[in-house]
Amino acid sequence: MLSTQEGIRRIALCLQYEGSSFCGWQRQPGQLSVQETLEQALAQLDPHRPMRAMAAGRTDSGVHAAGQVVHFEASGPIPAQRWAAAINGRLPASIRVRAAAVVPSSWHACFSASYRRYRYTLYNGRRPNLFLSPWSWHRYQRRLNEGAMARALRGLLGTHDFSAYQRAGSRRPHARTKVQAVSLERDGDLVVAEIQASGFLYGMVRLIMGQLVAVGEDRLSPDGFETRWRRRARSEVKEAAPAHGLCLLRVGYPTSPFPHSAWYDCQPRLWLECQDPPELPSLSPPPLSDSNEACSPLDTSSGVPETGQWAKV
């Protein structure tokens, strides 16, 4: 096997994938994974080395990525700036490499990262929307109280034990992690939450979002939300938000190896002109008009599913 002095280089990739057809990032026996699909493409370009791609985060089955980061080692003559085009020509349309760069041999996609940031999109309109459904969770039963959800989310900031938000099967030795930044806002019928942390537990964001929706629907108070995770009451956290609303937005490093435009905020936030949130039934008939839609000239958004069902965990 070639030594480092004989031409082995470490290559970093900024990667996107639409996760609905994959069992997640990591290889699983008998299932289609992003890792295996990428490694098979890499092997076609450098057949003299066993290819192993290491990722910044192991996204779960059905979860998307706008800015996943991976690294691998190569010995072939392909220049770094050509790797993205070369790999994309061998990948399915559901995976795309946005950028490639040579990094030091000590650089690691996972261990060199300073944060990961996830975005979850909720569609809170009354009517299904086919073009949003692959990217968000359609909650149409009640108008979500985004103010209460935002207050509950802000309480997660800091370093804490988040055992309440860790699914069974995790190999982590402990459940402590640092939540560095959070945001939650409504854009018309879309409610978009973002959580940034030094690292995430297995299933953490989906379990948090399941609880936040309960807060938004007034089934759980913000204080009750906080009490559950501070008491590490995993048995009380029974519902997880569906995977298709979740996207690994980006991975941060002290010095990014990629151009800013390739990695920073690459999940589009779609724009809907008309708003149609669920409301309580009116006691009087609506006024006659050409349309009962409430429209505003500017709303932004990003993704949606057509079902209001929970994912059971």
Residue with structure tokens 């299932």? 31
Amino acid in position 87: I
* Helix intervals (H) in 217-310: 222-230, 260-263
Size of the chain in residues: 313
Instruction: List phi, psi (to 5°) of 15.
Output: -125, 140
Integer Cα distance of 113 and 31 in angstroms: 28
Q: DSSP of 126-174, one letter per residue?
A: SS--TTTTTTSEE--SS---HHHHHHHHHTT-EEEE-GGG--TT---S-
- Specify the DSSP element, H or E, that contains 113: none
Q: Is 60 a catalytic residue?
A: yes
Nearest 5°: phi and psi at 116?
-125, 145
Residue 275, H or E segment: strand 274-275
Helices (H) and strands (E) in the chain, counts: 6, 14
Nearest to 16 by CA among 92, 83, 82: 92
Residue 266 tokens, joined: 């690459």
Q: Just list the catalytic residues.
A: 60
